[in-house]
């Protein structure tokens, strides 16, 4: 008995170390390797600050095999058109100073890894910034050009390029220090039951993920795949646009893309995905 216990215990421990997700009742097919060369973490142990889950999952794991397949090869991923458009923009000079993004950042690949830590506290601005806000800071303050509208395709494409060059990097958004207050604001929003239907983000994406709500298979509502190309509207969609849609569907007055409320919500939701890979631009329903 004692001998059995010892070796059994060691074997069980080894199993846990090799497969940290064993024991959770969600063993799923989670193999996503983009272009046969970029492995994507689509399932990971939940970060400590997400008490409701033991395992976090990318929205990709909830999609149909056909939709999943579109993300496995860039030739099949319609979001890549937006990435290509942003590459052209990256090299184009604009604004009073005649500079392009490339004048300062050389190539988009220079900014690899940046997406994984956004939204992020910006000391100079004294606020949490999304990647779109950071891009606009460069556009206006450094290039002397007009700000790009937060949710216009030009911005969404650039955001997609920023995700593209970070694909596979592990999301690791800071929630402490000066970002803590904004994070808490986002968390409070996540659990607020908005609108006439009185539904919170958590009602759908925490309490009911993996359930069908009418024709929709609910995911955990992660943002690691953003911007996402949606088959429903056949274009790239920003995180804030998705938030807007989800709040509208509770029969509530929404917030605007780029609003301080959505920035706070994005920080909180992004932090729930700490441990997954940057997967955007992803393909979703």
Partner 1 sequence: VSGLAPLHAQEVVAPSAVSFTDMGGIETSLTGTPGDVAAGAELMNKGSGNCIACHKVTALSDLPFHGEIGPPLDGVATRWDEAQLRGIVANAKKTFPGTIMPAFYHTGPYVRPGDAFTGDAAKGDVAPLLSAQDVENVVAYLMTLDTYPE
- In angstroms, the first-to-last Cα distance of the chain is 53
Shorter beta-carbon distance to partner 1: residue 74 or 249: 249
Interface segment toward partner 1; rule CB under 8 A; list 8-16, 36-44, 144-152, 244-252: 244-252
Among 4, 215, 232, 234, binds partner 1 (CB under 8 A): 215
| Interatomic CA distance for residues 99 and 80, integer angstroms | 25
Active site residue 246: yes
Least separation in angstroms between residue 264's CB and partner 1 is: 15
Interface segment toward partner 1; rule CB under 8 A; list 63-71, 106-114, 251-259, 276-284: 251-259
Least separation in angstroms between residue 269's CB and ligand HEC is: 5
User: Is residue 64 at the binding interface for partner 1, with CB under 8 A as the rule?
Assistant: no
Packing angle between helix 260-272 and helix 180-190, nearest 10 degrees?
Answer: 90
Q: What is the DSSP string of 21-67?
A: TBTBS------EEETTTEEE--EEEPPTT-TT-SEEE-GGGGS-HHH
User: Is residue 284 at the binding interface for ligand HEC, with CB under 6 A as the rule?
Assistant: yes
| Active-site residue, selected from the candidate residues 94, 145, 246, 252 | 246
Exposure of 220 by Cβ count < 10 A (0-12 exposed, 13-18 middle, 19+ buried)? buried
Least separation in angstroms between residue 261's CB and partner 1 is: 10
Q: Is 201 annotated as a binding residue?
A: yes
Where b means 16+ CB within 10 Å and e means fewer, 77-105 reads: bebbebbebbbebbeeebeeeebbbeeee
User: Is residue 79 at the binding interface for ligand HEC, with CB under 6 A as the rule?
Assistant: no
Q: Which residues are known catalytic residues?
A: 246
Binding residues for substrate are: 242
- The residue ranges that bind partner 1 (CB under 8 A) are 192-199, 203, 207-208, 211-215, 244, 247-254
């Amino acid at each position: 008995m004692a001998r059995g216990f010892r070796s059994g215990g060691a074997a069980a421990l080894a199993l846990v170390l090799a497969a940290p997700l064993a024991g959770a009742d969600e063993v799923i097919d989670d193999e996503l390797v983009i272009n046969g060369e970029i492995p994507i973490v689509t399932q990971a142990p939940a970060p400590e600050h997400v008490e409701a889950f033991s395992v976090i999952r990318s929205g990709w794991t909830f999609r149909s095999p056909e939709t999943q397949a579109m993300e496995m090869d860039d030739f099949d991923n319609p979001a890549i058109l937006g990435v290509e458009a942003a590459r052209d923009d990256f090299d184009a000079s604009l604004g009073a100073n005649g500079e392009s993004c490339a004048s300062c950042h050389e190539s988009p690949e220079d900014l690899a890894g940046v997406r994984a830590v956004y939204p992020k506290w910006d000391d100079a601005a004294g606020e949490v910034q999304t990647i779109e806000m950071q891009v606009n800071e460069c556009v206006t303050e450094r290039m002397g050009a007009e700000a790009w509208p937060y949710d216009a395709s030009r911005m969404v494409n650039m955001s997609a390029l920023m995700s593209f060059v970070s694909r596979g990097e592990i999301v690791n958004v800071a929630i402490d220090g000066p970002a803590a207050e904004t994070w808490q604001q986002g968390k409070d929003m996540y659990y607020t039951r908005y609108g006439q239907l009185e539904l919170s983000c958590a009602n759908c994406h925490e309490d009911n993920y993996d359930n069908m709500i009418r024709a929709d298979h609910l995911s955990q509502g992660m943002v690691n795949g953003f911007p996402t190309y949606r088959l429903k509207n056949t274009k790239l969609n920003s995180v804030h646009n998705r938030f807007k849609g989800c709040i509208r569907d509770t029969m509530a007055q929404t917030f605007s893309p780029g609003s301080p409320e959505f920035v706070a919500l994005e920080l909180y939701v992004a932090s729930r995905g700490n441990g997954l890979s940057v997967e955007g631009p992803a393909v979703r329903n």
